[in-house]
Copies of this chain bind each other. A is one copy, B any other.
Amino acid sequence: MPAEPSPSLADARRSRADRARQVADVLRRQVLRGAFADGLLPSEEKLAAEFTASRNAVRDALSVLVAEGLVTRVQGTGTVVAGRKYPHGLHHLLGLAETLREHGEVVNEVRAAGSVTPPPAVAARLREPGGGPPETVVYVERLRRLNGLPLSLDLTYLAPDVGGPLLGEDLDHNDIFALIEARTVYRLGGASITVEAVSADPHTAAVLETPAGAPLLMVERLTRLDDGRPVDLEYIRLRGDRLVLRGELTRS
**A90 surroundings in chain B (CB, below 8 A):** 90, 193, 195, 247, 249
In-complex Cβ contact of A17 among B25, B139, B203, B218 (8 A): B203
**A191 surroundings in chain B (CB, below 8 A):** 248-249, 251
- In Å, the complex CA distance between A52 and B217 comes to 27
A195 and B251 contacting across the interface, CB-CB below 8 Å: no
- In Å, the complex CA distance between A89 and B191 comes to 14
**A173 surroundings in chain B (CB, below 8 A):** 1
Interface string of A236-249 (1 = CB under 8 A from B): 00101000111111
B190 and A249 contacting across the interface, CB-CB below 8 Å: yes
Considering the complex, give the chain B residue whose CB is closest to the CB of A204. B21
In-complex Cβ contact of A113 among B8, B50, B169, B204 (8 A): B8
Q: Give chain B nearest CB distance to A159 CB in angstroms.
A: 16
Interface size range on A against B? 35 or more
Considering the complex, give the chain B residue whose CB is closest to the CB of A64. B201
- Secondary structure dominating the interface of A: mixed
Q: Give chain B nearest CB distance to A215 CB in angstroms.
A: 4
- In Å, the complex CA distance between A113 and B192 comes to 37
- In Å, the complex CA distance between A215 and B28 comes to 17
Of listed A32, A52, A217, residue having the most chain B CB within 10 A: A217
A245 and B112 contacting across the interface, CB-CB below 8 Å: no
- A131 is an interface residue with CB less than 8 A from chain B: no
A203 and B21 contacting across the interface, CB-CB below 8 Å: yes
B240 and A196 contacting across the interface, CB-CB below 8 Å: yes
- A3 is an interface residue with CB less than 8 A from chain B: yes
- A37 is an interface residue with CB less than 8 A from chain B: no
B172 and A9 contacting across the interface, CB-CB below 8 Å: no
18 contacts between A and B (CB under 8 A): A2-B170, A3-B110, A9-B139, A18-B111, A25-B235, A26-B119, A27-B121, A68-B199, A90-B90, A90-B195, A91-B249, A189-B251, A192-B246, A193-B246, A195-B217, A196-B245, A213-B213, A215-B240
Interface positions of A (Cβ within 8 A of B)? 1-3, 6-11, 14-15, 17-18, 20-30, 32, 35, 50-52, 64, 67-68, 85, 87, 90-93, 110-117, 119-122, 139, 141, 155, 167-173, 177, 187-199, 201, 203-204, 213-218, 220-221, 226, 235, 238, 240, 244-252
